[in-house]
Structure 1
Amino acid sequence: MPERSAITSSELGVLWLTYQEDTMILRILEYFIEKADDEKAKEIMNNLYGEIDSYVGIIKETLENEGAVIPIGFTTQDVKKEVPKLYDNGFDIMFVRLLKQISMGLHSLNITMTYREDIVLIIKELTTIAQKYYNLCTQYLLKKGLLVKSPHVSMPTSVEFVKDKHYLSGLSANPFSEKRSLNTVEVAQIHHSIESNITGLQMIIGFAQCANTEDVKNYFNEGAELAKSMVKELSEIFLQSGLQAPQTAGGNATRSTLAPFSDKLMLYCTSLFCSFSMGSGSLGTAFSLRNDLPAKITIFMKDIFEYAHKGAKIMIKNGWMEEPPQMEERNQMLK
């Protein structure tokens, strides 16, 4: 049997990041499972927990076999299952659904940076798990009436081609100039962004009211205002095209002010959501052909980046940011 090659720097980075994300998800699931009052939701989360936990073990074993130190990630110190419910009305599955959206994106990117067959298989199987539970969460929320589908549209009856540059117009010195209606690709991007930001807003409102330190509380309050402004401006774009912006009666923070998660975990989760939002924004700018849309999304991305950078500074100040494995300092070694 041929000797297995050592893992590469990118594979080590992929395993390290996956361990961070999945140990965070396990802690979140532990709390939501403890507080679940719907048996179907509890079943979905219990099954997801079991599958993720087994792969956290596999990643840990892989790193140990390579002689690499095991990351701390997120442990039982980062969750308090005994505190009252922080969220209600289906938010647990709404939150898990968004986490699995993020997982699908990360795993799809990570698999392009891995080479060794056993590591490729780990990421491939985690991708399958993410897709499976994203769908289970989606169908659960639809059945409960807690998820709004994107608008319906009349089916096209002929193939059309863009005939003039007016198709790209959206920015104009004349505020009364007519913009073309949104196409279905643009509707999909905007609807997804509104939907994600509504869940993110509900999440961060809960984080703000239970954060343990004042600077973290203020940071989450700032994030809530940013999410509100994005939902408001994107919804107005829909309304200008005669479309109803997605709204849901599901998922809300309770009156509890006791934190189920450590500030470290809540900040990391917020950072993950910011990264996801910037990635989605990049796709939005690439596929939106009405030139006012990329301009607006680019401003959002700048604001999100600056907000995420501020969160990173708070984590560093408090000693909560675990450092990824480093490459050798060749210049120092040569000296």
Structure 2
Amino acid sequence: MTEKQALSSSELGTLWMTYQQKTMVQRIFEYFIEQADDKRAKEIMQDFHMKVINYIEDIKNILKNEGAVIPVGFTEQDVNTGVLKLYDNMFDIMFLRLNVEISMGLHTLHLNMAYRKDIVLLYKELTAFTQSVYDECVDYLQEKDVLPRPPAVSMPKTIEFANGTNYMSGFNLFSEKRALNTVEVAHLYNAIETNILGMQMITGFAQVANEPEVKKYFIKGKELAKKTVTDYTQLFLQSDIQPPSTWGANATDSKVSPFSDKLMMYCTSMLCSFGLGSNALGTAFSLRNDLPLKMVGTAKDVLTYGRDGGKIMAKNGWLEEPPQMQDRNDLTK
């Protein structure tokens, strides 16, 4: 029989990342399921939660068979299901939609880093699973009329090519900026929508954080999300485009935390990483030259904010280190 290949460094690293993310959402949705009022929403979350636990066990078994230590991730100590609601109805499914949106990108990326057949299969299954949950969330939220659709647009009747460099104008004070194209609208809309939900999430975190330094950090994050929404909304309004808005998913007035500061900090860090990736795509596909500058400025702020969060996590002993490569310099001493 052919001996199974050992895990590569890339595969070990991506499994470690997946374990961290899945154990985090496992704990978050233990709380959301317990608090759910809507039967259909509860069923969606319960099915998601059960399958996440199964995938966590799959990763554990792979690591055990390789003789690797199981990461700590997030445990039952990181959640308190018996407290008051921290968010209004609809936040749970809107958060689930955002989480699987992030997961779809991560699993596809990790699939491209996998070589061993069982790891490839794992990420194929995870990709299909998250896509299915995403569809369920979108259908549910549209039925409840809380998920605004991107702005309407007239269908093109002719094909156009840019004539000269005026198409890219955006800085010249004496020339009129062209209207946003649909590719630019798509990336800006997604950024506004994500930051609106992120602002509500981090508002709740700021209300219930235990450590003063963590509370201050979340307040700073709320203002950063608010600034991003304001800046990108202004770009929409300049082109007479209606920005997204929703009546649901707000934080309540609860001041009792359902989650540990460690979990809330990690969740915020994950959203920062997602925001950086989305900004990079938006910058790459924006042809009006004022837009990349705006997006790069936002990315710089998010990167600084994320690094500050990492320092807080390390300072408090919450930053679990990924598996390390051998330090050859140390081994040869």
In structure 2, C-alpha distance between the alignment counterparts of 1:334 and 1:260, rounded to whole Å:
48
In structure 1, C-alpha distance between the alignment counterparts of 2:227 and 2:185, rounded to whole Å:
18
Match of 2:232 in 1: 234
Shift of 1:177: 2.8
Match of 1:167 in 2: 167
Mapping for residues 280-295 of structure 1, pairs under 5 Å:
280-295=278-293
Match of 2:276 in 1: 278
After superposition, give the CA deviation of every residue in 1:27-69 in whole Å (9 maximum; x if it has no partner): 0110000000000100000000111110100000000000000
Shift of 1:187: 0.6
Q: Confirm or deny that 1:127 pairs with 2:127.
A: yes
Q: Which of these residues, 200, 221, 224, is aligned with residue 222 of structure 2?
A: 224
In structure 2, C-alpha distance between the alignment counterparts of 1:306 and 1:216, rounded to whole Å:
16
Match of 1:42 in 2: 42
Q: Secondary structure at the match of 1:167?
A: helix
Match of 2:75 in 1: 75
Match of 1:32 in 2: 32
Q: Secondary structure at the match of 1:252?
A: coil
Count of matched residue positions in the alignment of Structure 1 and Structure 2: 333
Q: Secondary structure at the match of 2:192?
A: helix
In structure 2, C-alpha distance between the alignment counterparts of 1:50 and 1:19, rounded to whole Å:
15
Shift of 1:171: 1.3
What is the TM-score normalised by the length of structure 2?
Answer: 0.99
In structure 2, C-alpha distance between the alignment counterparts of 1:95 and 1:257, rounded to whole Å:
20
Match of 1:332 in 2: 330
Q: Secondary structure at the match of 2:241?
A: coil
Mapping for residues 248-327 of structure 1, pairs under 5 Å:
248-327=246-325
* Structure 2 unpaired stretches of 5+: none
In structure 2, C-alpha distance between the alignment counterparts of 1:301 and 1:92, rounded to whole Å:
27
Q: Confirm or deny that 1:177 pairs with 2:152.
A: no
Letter in 1 for 2:289: N
Mapping for residues 6-25 of structure 1, pairs under 5 Å:
6-25=6-25
Shift of 1:255: 1.0
Shift of 1:139: 1.1
Q: Secondary structure at the match of 2:112?
A: helix
In structure 1, C-alpha distance between the alignment counterparts of 2:201 and 2:139, rounded to whole Å:
21
Letter in 2 for 1:224: K
Q: Secondary structure at the match of 1:49?
A: helix
Percent of aligned pairs sharing the same letter: 58
Structure 1 ranges of 4+ moved more than 4 A: none
In structure 2, C-alpha distance between the alignment counterparts of 1:287 and 1:108, rounded to whole Å:
20
Match of 1:92 in 2: 92
Mean alpha-carbon deviation: is it higher for 176-185 or for 51-60?
Answer: 176-185
After superposition, give the CA deviation of every residue in 1:110-151 in whole Å (9 maximum; x if it has no partner): 111110000011111111111111111111111101111101
Match of 2:103 in 1: 103
* Structure 1 unpaired stretches of 5+: none
Shift of 1:284: 0.1
In structure 2, C-alpha distance between the alignment counterparts of 1:328 and 1:148, rounded to whole Å:
50
After superposition, give the CA deviation of every residue in 1:261-306 in whole Å (9 maximum; x if it has no partner): 0000000000000000000000000001001110000000000000
In structure 2, C-alpha distance between the alignment counterparts of 1:32 and 1:182, rounded to whole Å:
38
After superposition, give the CA deviation of every residue in 1:161-209 in whole Å (9 maximum; x if it has no partner): 111100011112x2x5310001000010010000000000000000000
After superposition, give the CA deviation of every residue in 1:77-131 in whole Å (9 maximum; x if it has no partner): 0000001110013100011110111101111111111100000111111111111
In structure 2, C-alpha distance between the alignment counterparts of 1:111 and 1:105, rounded to whole Å:
10
Q: Secondary structure at the match of 1:3?
A: coil
What is the TM-score normalised by the length of structure 1?
Answer: 0.98
In structure 2, C-alpha distance between the alignment counterparts of 1:171 and 1:147, rounded to whole Å:
34
Match of 2:203 in 1: 205
Match of 2:113 in 1: 113
